[in-house]
Amino acid sequence: MGKTITHKIFETHLVEGYLEPGETVGIQVDSTLLQDATGTMACLEFEALGLPRVKTAPCVVFVDHNMLQVGFENPDDHIFLQTFAAKYGMTYSRPGNGICHQVYLERFAVPGKVLLGADSHSPTAGGMGMLAIGAGGLDVALAMAGQPFYLTMPKIVGVKLTGKLQPFVSAKDIILELLRRLTVKGGTGKIFEYYGEGIRSLTVPERSTITNMGAELGATTSIFPSDEITKDYLKRQGRESEWIPLYPDGDAEYQERIEMDLSSLEPLIARPHSPDNVVKVREVKGLPVDQVAIGSCTNSSFTDLMIVAGMMKGRSVHPRVSAALTPGSRQVLNMIAANGALADFIASGFRILESACGPCIGMGFAPSSGGVAIRSYNRNFEGRAGTKDARVYLASPEVCAACAIAGEITDPRDLGVPYSRPPLPEKYLVDDSMILPPSSHPEEVEVRKGPNIKSLPQMFPLPEVLDGEVLMKVGDNISTDHILPAGAKILPLRSNLPAISDYVFAGLDPGFVRRAKEKGGGFIIGGENYGQGSSREHAALAPKFLGVKAVIVKSFARIHLANLVNFGILPLKFANPADYVKIDVGDFLQCHLPKTLNSALILKNLTKKVDIPVIPVLNARDWEIVKAGGSLPYAKLHLT
Ligand code: MIC
Ligand code: SF4
């Protein structure tokens, strides 16, 4: 049987295991990506490993999330990251240079290589034929130290695209359609590999919109072949020499197959509060809109913005709507400034925000109370935008522009504006002056840590008996935004574990932290897909700091599960999901840990006097890590 491109890349990077779905495999990582919100902690973790230089190349740290700078915390973090990068051999992308995934795609992504990124949307680079995986900061720090990345070998899903997108229908609608069909947990344990004649009409930035939002499916990653279109994009970025061809074999073996006819797609929209709550735009048309936001790592390429500028030219943002643009990168911003499209945005009434994540994680431009916001972004979890009762919808830039003009949800095909999809620019404007290489005299660089940057606490081995009260019980699809919110108030605390820990479950249950502190820690009970969404390891680290010993759920999302293991919290799933009802908040639980890993353990609910069989969601290596108190103490024992 022939090989998929995923298989081919895995094969050239494999250091441990067999490429069979479900097997634990270790792969060598070529390149690493950090951003400021996860990167400060990852750098502190790398520092704790005691190595002089990073071993991945390029290892790039971007400042794009924490840019509001309402106090000293964010700028202190920037200086920390800049000096840390200079000293330890990392490349630093300065604030203002753009959103990590967009800039990585433009300037760093290379087909056939493996990227491990401390951000869940790292698969954006899959649009370039790169095997790009999101992970917790500690896994990335370990990769920076030259350690393999371990994962459960996913199933490969072949997604065959046929046909061609119609006017006003875009790459965003392809991934929204997949989310509609498969839901936010449909991609768990899977890699989506795209093929078929339909991919030939998709440019690299469009492919990257699709691979970016593969994260919302819960997929390990998504990938496109590296073909003539990839080569053409690299050429326009002045990087043609970095191209290699990479195709699946004609008889490639996919464990699952999906087909989609692009010609039959129409504009789609995800309703609040989940990216899979997808319907046709026409089904919700007419709903008054308060806010429109165009940008984010999903949809702010040059072409995306040129399409919107074309629609806005000579038209105005509706008086009811507050509209904002966050260009994906300084390259994009520079180019729309040079060709006049920025002037069209300004003239139409769009507010021009800086090139950063911004509104996507509630760092400014929060919607009004109960307001309806239409965004070209990738996540619409409740409260994420900064306003608890806002209703955030996700759609393509074309749909966003139509809503901005009409003041209500509108299918852009009904608006009567002309559609033009500009070709890629002959040459992208390349100016890497805000990308700083590491210092050639690292011994002279002093790493500067502001007062908000606190070192990591010591982690201790797990005791033989875990016991304590149930502190929290939640339902299905709890995201890391629920477990540890982002936003302007909390994000600046990412390098201060004691301070950020005060916000665990802040939006769901403000009493949680007090309870955890009073009881000296305990257990969390969850439903399906617990920990979906972002890669933020703080959603495991902060509960650990509060004494959480085990999380017992029906199923976990991949990155969060790895983060729990990394910080020595025992991940358990119900052997029988129906037992979920047998545990309530306040119940006293007890679990004896065996010396060697068993397939099932008994969790005693001493309050209700029932025994509940639970399964540790661990392989043998993870079990050793959890027992050691997490990956840091474990790595220190094993680093050569
Ligand atoms: C997100 O989109 O949720 C974030 C903010 O980019 C996170 C990373 C973080 O929390 O720092 C992600 O996607 O991993
Ligand atoms: Fe930034 Fe939003 Fe992309 Fe996360 S999803 S990297 S917050 S733009």
Please tell me the number of the ligand nearest to residue 104's CA.
2
Active site residues: 64-65, 119, 379, 534, 536
Q: Is the pLDDT of residue 1 over 90?
A: no
The answer, yes or no, to whether any atom of ligand 1 lies below 6 A from the CB of 384, is: no
How far away, in angstroms, is 295 Cα from ligand 1 center? Answer: 15
- Is residue 99 within 8 A of residue 64, CB to CB? The reply is yes
Question: Could you tell me which residues are beta bridge partners of residue 34?
Answer: 61
151-210 pLDDT tens trace: 999 999 999 999 999 999 999 999 999 999 999 999 999 999 999 999 999 999 999 999
Cβ atoms of 630 and 567 within 8 Å: the answer is yes
> Is the CB of 361 inside a 6 Å radius of any atom of ligand 1?
yes
User: Which has more confidence, 224 or 639?
Assistant: 224
Q: Is residue 595 very low, low, confident or very high in pLDDT (cuts 50, 70, 90)? A: confident
Are the beta carbons of 147 and 238 closer than 8 angstroms? no
Query: What one-character DSSP code corresponds to residue 408?
Result: B
pLDDT at 612: 98
For 38, 249, 422, 483, 640, the CA distances from 139, given in Å and listed in that order, are 11, 32, 40, 20, 17
pLDDT of res. 635: 87
Give me the DSSP letters along 539-568.
HHHHHHHTTEEEEEES-B-HHHHHHHHHTT
Which residue has the least CA distance to atom 1 on ligand 2?
Answer: 357
Contact predicate 264/162, CB 8 Å: no
Closest ligand to the CA of 360: 2
Q: Are 532 and 561 in contact (CB under 8 A)?
A: no
Q: Facing residues of 570 across strands? A: 550
For residue 639, the model assigns a pLDDT of: 67
pLDDT digits (tens, 9 = 90+) for 531-575: 999 999 999 999 999 999 999 999 999 999 999 999 999 999 999
Mean pLDDT of the chain: 97
Nearest CA to ligand 2 atom 3: 297
Positive or negative torsion for Cα 23, 24, 26, 29: positive
Model pLDDT for residues 195-224, shown as the tens digit of each residue: 999 999 999 999 999 999 999 999 999 999
Q: Which atom of ligand 1 is nearest to the CA of 559?
A: 14
Does the beta carbon of 560 lie inside 6 Å of ligand 1?
no
- Mean pLDDT within 217-236: 98
Rounded distance between C-alpha atoms, residue 283 and residue 268, angstroms: 9
Tell me if 143 CB under 6 Å of ligand 1. no
pTM of the predicted protein model: 0.98
Mind listing the pLDDT tens digit for each residue in 303-318? 999 999 999 999 999 9
The pair of three-digit structure tokens given for residue 249, joined into one six-digit string: 């074999």
Protein residue whose Cα sits closest to atom 2 of ligand 1: 534
CA-494 nearest atom, ligand 1: 11
Sign of the four-CA dihedral 184, 190, 191, 192 = negative
Q: What is the pLDDT of residues 255-268, one digit of tens each?
A: 999 999 999 999 99
Contacts of 577 (CB under 8 A, 6+ apart): 554
Out of 40, 115, 119, give the residue to mutate to test ligand 1, the one with the largest number of ligand atoms within 8 Å of its CB.
119
pLDDT (tens digit per residue) in 457-488 = 889 999 999 999 999 999 999 999 999 999 99
Q: How many residues belong to the chain? A: 640
- Residue-wise pLDDT tens digits, 386-395: 999 999 999 9
57-78 tens-digit pLDDT = 999 999 999 999 999 999 999 9
The DSSP result for 589-618, as a single string, is EEEEPPSS--S-EEEEETTTTEEEEEEE--
